Structure 1
């Protein structure tokens, strides 16, 4: 857990979470725990060791970035001045990386969902090529950043559950269909800022859900096969889809997911209207369904 530190005047202040605070037994970290624990040990020694461990993994794969460049990780200070982050990755394959949790989880996602990360990089760099780097990022880059930072993948085989999510119908999604989780729907965390927040989870922690239609057979596959399926399908949608905006996401309070937080075993957990807000939304899912 996060440490308390003493600030001038003797007051206690909560310290920012660090590498030692990651609890790999949490369900949202399960997908990256094996590699993450190894990287965590390196990161706890030094920034140099962290990058060395990341690059050793990159060298042992054929992982590439959005324009086919071989993936590598470099210190943040090696990013040339006045160069856009996305453009640098596209041109060189090198991901500027700081010695912190945010960039640690970002790097993990390059291995967990390499096609999605490459697709985001390709679209982001294309947007920079088309519009340049101005005082504002623009709607496209904002939506890409939202996905990269805070997305969860909501894999679902039943339309009713997708509709419940888009309609803020938490009772249908989390209470009436509790048994559906793991059998007809599930969530994978993707956004690295979201994963960083979940080191010290709190009830209002909310991801932006990207809905992925999957076959019922999906839930009989191994975790690795499911992740590969999601990686390929979502990446293809990101590359081929002409429309892309923040309206394509649905908010999902992640601690409401059955099995992810002990307190949500009680139905009253979902009565908190400040977290489980009411409302309706319109729009399309990533594959065009209403």
Structure 2
């Protein structure tokens, strides 16, 4: 038990080797000068980063890491800043929120897109990168329908691992566009393999014209760290490994006409097409007629 506590203590003060909570704090605010919790902070075009804590605080050792950092949070404009020793606060501006005009909606009362059940083909893990893994939902039939609920499957070695959900409207090139909702939806994931059901009905969000991207964001915070030891079978050396919970269950693509776009990943301030025609997040969206 002492060994485990020691590992967690070290991780608090040296996440990713470049970000350290023992340095001077920088506080991230909104335009009302309120701290913003769990902001995604990463080196531009690189996979190194962390999230701010629940009080909107981060600390970056600018002496050992030079370049622009991208600050990203649902509902705010992504902001790239060079951090220096004199910087003690950052203000994020509100982002544009997507909206469509819909006429009378006729059709089925409810239907679903995607699939959360089925055989597990693999898992998407995170060893310390502040990334967002996105799944695309496209349905001409469902345009204008209300988004009722979302389900996604996870595995976790920690209880109450925190995940943020971001909702993006697809643009006319079927890429992630503006936010559909002005907030990140926070979810606490239980230990083990779970299907997480999120009720979105009260938000009155409508399925956009070109479809929807749902992004799952694992928080790179000490509370999500799972530490374990691993033995090298060739050298017999034992090393410590850290992963950030939870893991996202993946299904094999089965040719669903409503799932015909590659997955995207957001990291280092950019969206990247994963060009993966084989795997999809185990995720399901239920729509209902307004």
Question: TM-score band (shorter)?
Answer: under 0.3
- TM superposition score normalised by structure 1: 0.25
Structure (1/2) with the larger helix percentage: 1
Structure (1/2) with the larger strand percentage: 2
Q: Which protein has greater RCO, CA pairs closer than 8 Å, 6+ apart?
A: 2
- TM superposition score normalised by structure 2: 0.25
